[in-house]
Structure 1
Amino acid sequence: MKKLILLLSLMCFVFGIQAQNRRQGVRSTTVKKTAVAKKARTSEVKKIVPMTSEQVTEYTKHMVDSVKMEGSNWESILILPGLTKNEIYRFAKEYMSKNFTNWAKNIQLDDVENGKIVCMGALQTIVVKKMNPIDGKNCAEVFNGNTKQTLTLDIKDEKVRVRGEGFAWTGKATLYIENMSCDPSYYYGEGLLTMSMLIGEEKNVAGGETMCCDALRLGVLQYLTGLRNYSLKAKLDDDF
């Protein structure tokens, strides 16, 4: 009987040690967590919303281009809402190819990737020089032609910076007596100084230069307004 009780006690002792070892093993087991890779935030893409036809009309009506002039050189930034860099690049080339003579020959740099165009362009320049009356009739000499300049377009989304450099005038001067025109005398490729002397005479060369630059500024505004309107309307045509 004593042997039986001793055997049972021994068995209980062994089972108790095994159970304790199992509990400790569970506690010491490290649970590995599955690492979840965090998704990197994607950069927000700027959504360019094209203007409606009503917005284009309103924008064209009230916008006044600001042109910075230094002599005959100038610079202006056109804001073109709703147009990407590639669209402005394409529309600018279309516009200039339709308005400038020998467009293909006058391109000096055509970089679509960086949005840059350098070309020779001709901007209308009309200067009126008042003269002394003849036989009591009012007289004026009208210089009607184009100022050739190197145009540089730097294009980004929704805007383009346009610069004009150099001065070479091509056109004709016509003498008007009252409303009657006389045979014109022609001038080709004149520099700014020569044109200033023709218009302002030797005693007032500075005044002649101012008149040339003011006339050129009007030609610049005409070109920029045309480029802006063409681009905005071409964008609407693309979205038909």
Structure 2
Amino acid sequence: MYYTKTGVFKDPRLENTFNADIAVFLVDCSIFTRDLEGERLEEQHYYDEQLATLISAFVKYRSENKKLSKKRLYPVFVLTQMDNMDNSIDDRPKIGEGHMWNYDSKEAHEIGNELFSKYLPLSKSVIIGASTMKVVLEENKFFFSWVQMDGKSPEGVQTMESQRLAYRDDLKDPSGHEFKGNVFARGQYLEFIMYLKEICEFTKDSSNLAKEYLDGQKKAQPINQGN
């Protein structure tokens, strides 16, 4: 466990993390598999167990702390490596800023819940069971991350399509049309920052980092990429 029975953390650096109002968990989607047996399935089960243990630690700590048990915890799950999901997962979400679910938090939530139900069932059960330990949880939020690659370096390492990273409004297509450009999850990143800003405002947090970042994004000018 991360702390002793008396609530003293084995690593003092963890204290601020466990006392925070928001807990952000990064989830590696590349470990998801449709295999019914074998090493990949075992790896997925192990990953699920470790994530469930971490979530349980937060819930248990707050349930044993009278002051924290009355405060709302905001669990956030950032599903990373969406671009590296197993090709055998035929119902995986289509990545790219042109797909509507990037701009619809309800649909994104449904996608996240479905992925947890299929590939991380133990972790999902821990989240659901938090209420039985009298811990006040806000509805969990899901955000997604991906980076599309366009080749390999001379050393054989995949490289990002950096020449297309500049943001351009004219590249958005809410109809779901695939296009070249915005090869990283910019929309989701901004949604994530916006959500942090909302929590800061609701919890009277004095931090203005989220607001400053968003203001800077609004002022940013598109880069002329040429033809």
TM-score (norm 2): 0.25
* Structure showing the higher strand proportion among its residues: 1
TM-score (norm 1): 0.24
* Structure showing the higher helix proportion among its residues: 2
